[in-house]
């Protein structure tokens, strides 16, 4: 038996979320005494794969055929199914992102395996197998018992963190038998935002709300973000008004993120907003209204005018990063 981890291949590179997922699997493997096996699909550099060994991965199956470079969920599900059989996996981990959300439920149907999305912590117990997941848009945790032999989970980003546990990793080519490798749908045009840091992968997120008054004032928020290598985000009305791109909107109806530090500037802290950021390790709020609800969830709060505080913070952060 083994623990199988789906490793997201981002144009031949591996991102932090996959390393964290490997750390999570390694922690499980210490309790279960099972090897950690990875699956990566599409062409990828061997040097990238070596990094997984640093976090405790024993073996990686590489379905590295170029025809798999483009993700087709149906095909990726079949490849994952064959990898489960090949590695005799009892526990299967996917990232809690678009890929995990697309593939894990399909795989759970094919394998008749119990599936727990939005997992927040390491399993509470292994026999019976109980794990806690986000519930009610982050306002509660639900403990779920998985009764099937095979168990599929999508741990959330930052739910565990990175832990180094170096082992020798063996890299094996994996050639799944796929009858119909073509897609029924094809993306014919993709507009990607190449500026800045990807919101989903960011350690630090600087987020702005209606308190910033106008689109042009987000320039100071971008400067603050750049000073500490942070990604930018916003509240829903800000995206609705076109002050920021729609893909920056976080909350119940936007992205759910869990960075190490979330800095909310001019954001009131409505429940629908907090639902998307409550998993953050540390929330910092800057708001001119001391009674704003964001201070109820913030670990640190600054009461004051963002237009005064943000430029001062940017100067301080720049100096700090220079001295570091
Ligand atoms: C079904 C539903 C789903 C929703 N989903 C989402 C969602 O996913 N994400 C989301 O964000 N919202 C969502 N909303 C909207 C949500 O209810 C709030 O209306 C929204 O989050 C408020 O955005 P805001 O905090 O930017 O603006 P406001 O509520 O207008 O708050 C602005 C804040 O800025 C502060 N401020 C003003 N001037 C300054 C200054 N100079 N310096 C510092 N602070 C200042 C004010 O004190 C205030 O607290 C949803 C609503 C519904 C009904």
Kindly give, in sequence order, each residue whose CB lies less than 8 Å from that of residue 277, ignoring residues fewer than 6 positions away. 205, 207, 250, 251, 256, 257, 258, 262, 264, 283
Q: Which ligand 1 atom minimizes the distance to the CA of 307?
A: 41
Residue 274 CA to ligand 1 centre (angstroms): 10
Cβ-defined contacts of 64-70 (< 8 Å, 24+)? 64/40, 64/173, 64/174, 65/175, 66/42, 67/181, 68/41, 68/42, 68/181, 69/42, 69/43, 70/42, 70/183
Residue 298 CA to ligand 1 centre (angstroms): 15
Domain 199-323 is in which class?
alpha beta
266 lines ligand 1 (CB under 6 A): yes
Q: Residue 18 and residue 100: Cα distance in Å, rounded? A: 11
Nearest to 126 by CA among 250, 28, 252, 11: 28
Q: How confident is the model at residue 200 (pLDDT cuts 50, 70, 90)?
A: confident
Mutation test residue for ligand 1: of 233, 237, 292, 298, the one with most atoms within 8 Å of CB:
237
Residue closest via CA to ligand 1's atom 26 equals 209
CA count, 13 A, side-chain hemisphere, 313: 22
Whether 175 has a pLDDT exceeding 60, the answer reads yes
Whether 194 has a pLDDT exceeding 60, the answer reads no
Residue closest via CA to ligand 1's atom 39 equals 211
237 lines ligand 1 (CB under 6 A): yes
Residue 291 CA to ligand 1 centre (angstroms): 14
Determine the pLDDT at residue 187: 76
CATH architecture of the domain 2-173 equals 3-Layer(aba) Sandwich (3.40)
244 lines ligand 1 (CB under 6 A): no
Question: 0.95 cut: is pTM over it?
Answer: no
267 lines ligand 1 (CB under 6 A): yes
Residue 192 CA to ligand 1 centre (angstroms): 26
Determine the pLDDT at residue 193: 63
270 lines ligand 1 (CB under 6 A): yes
φ, ψ at 125 (rounded to 5°): -150, 160
At residue 202's C-alpha, the angle toward residues 199 and 208, to 5°, is: 55
Model pLDDT for residues 72-117, shown as the tens digit of each residue: 899 999 999 999 999 999 999 999 988 999 999 999 999 999 999 9
Model pLDDT for residues 240-282, shown as the tens digit of each residue: 999 999 999 999 999 989 899 999 999 999 999 999 999 899 9
Q: Write down the domain spans for the chain.
A: 2-173, 199-323
Q: Which of 44-53, 154-163, 209-218, 233-242 shows the lowest per-residue confidence on average (mean pLDDT)?
A: 154-163
274 lines ligand 1 (CB under 6 A): no
Same fold, 2-173 and 199-323: yes
């Amino acid at each position: 038996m083994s623990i199988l981890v789906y490793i997201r291949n981002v144009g031949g590179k591996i991102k932090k979320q996959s390393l964290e997922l490997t750390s999570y699997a390694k922690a499980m493997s210490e309790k279960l005494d099972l090897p950690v096996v990875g699956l990566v699909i599409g062409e990828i550099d061997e040097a990238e794969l070596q990094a997984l060994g640093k976090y405790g991965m024993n073996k990686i199956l590489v379905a590295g055929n170029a025809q798999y470079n483009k993700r087709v969920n149906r095909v990726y599900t079949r490849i994952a199914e064959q990898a489960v059989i090949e590695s005799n996996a009892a526990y299967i981990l996917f990232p809690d992102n678009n890929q995990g959300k697309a593939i894990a439920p399909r795989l759970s149907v094919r394998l008749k395996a119990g599936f727990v999305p939005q997992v927040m912590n390491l399993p509470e117990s292994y026999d019976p197998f109980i794990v806690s997941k986000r519930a009610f848009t982050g306002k509660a945790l639900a403990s779920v018992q998985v009764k099937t032999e095979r168990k599929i989970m999508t741990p959330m980003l930052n739910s565990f963190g990175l832990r180094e546990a170096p082992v020798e990793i063996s890299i094996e080519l994996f050639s799944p038998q796929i009858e119909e490798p073509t897609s029924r749908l094809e993306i014919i045009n993709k507009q990607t935002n190449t500026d800045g840091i990807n919101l989903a992968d960011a350690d630090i997120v600087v987020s702005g709300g209606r308190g910033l008054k106008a689109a042009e004032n987000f320039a100071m928020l971008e400067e603050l973000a750049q000073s500490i290598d942070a990604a930018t985000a916003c509240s829903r009305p800000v995206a609705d008004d076109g002050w920021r791109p729609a893909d920056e909107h976080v909350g119940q109806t936007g992205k759910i993120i869990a960075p190490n530090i979330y800095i909310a500037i001019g954001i009131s802290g409505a429940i629908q907003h907090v639902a998307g950021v409550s998993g953050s390790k540390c929330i910092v709020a800057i708001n001119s209204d001391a009674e704003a609800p964001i201070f109820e969830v913030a670990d640190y709060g600054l009461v004051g005018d963002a237009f005064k505080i943000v430029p001062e913070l940017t100067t301080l952060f720049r100096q700090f990063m220079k001295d570091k």
